[in-house]
Amino acid sequence: MTKNGFTLTELIVVVVILGILATLAIPNFFKVMENTKAKEAVASLHQIRAGEHIYRYEENAYWPSGAGDNAAINAQLNLSLDTGAERNWDYSITADASTFTATATRIGKAADNTITIDEDGEIGG
């Protein structure tokens, strides 16, 4: 009489292999997630840049320095930056009459990450 099924040794080998694969895959997954969030910030910075150019066209100066609140930036530049508690980035603007720099500062797990854009569209950080 033959018994169908797996031995304990076979099950342990499968679990060990799955553990090794997970160990290799999880760090890459987090890198991909963080890169995606960085692309979100770059897209929002381009929106801020476009809004600043429209504001400068209408007011002959960039929107004032010290603008560091997502909701205020949304209201003044007619944007839709995330303002909820689950947002990934806080945005701020430093400007004078002829130049500006918008900064996205990562909040949460990777809070040391910042990305900037200037009036010429140069991305930094």
Strand partners, 28: none
The pLDDT of residue 1 is: 60
Helix spans in 1-125 (H): 8-59, 70-77
The pLDDT of residue 75 is: 87
The pLDDT of residue 45 is: 97
Write down the domain spans for the chain.
8-124
What are the φ/ψ torsions at residue 60 (nearest 5 degrees)? 65, 25
The pLDDT of residue 108 is: 82
CA dihedral 38, 44, 46, 52 (to 10 degrees): -140
88 token code pair: 């990934």
Cβ-Cβ contacts under 8 Å for 95 (sequence gap 6 or more): 52, 61, 62, 63, 64, 65, 67, 101
> d(Cα 74, Cα 63) in Å, to the nearest integer?
12
- List, edge to edge, every strand of the sheet that includes 100-106: 89-95, 100-106, 114-118, 123-124
pTM across the whole model = 0.79
pLDDT tens track, the chain, 125 positions: 677 888 899 999 999 999 999 888 888 888 898 899 999 999 999 999 999 999 999 999 998 766 668 988 898 888 989 888 889 999 999 988 889 999 999 998 777 899 999 999 999 98
The pLDDT of residue 101 is: 94
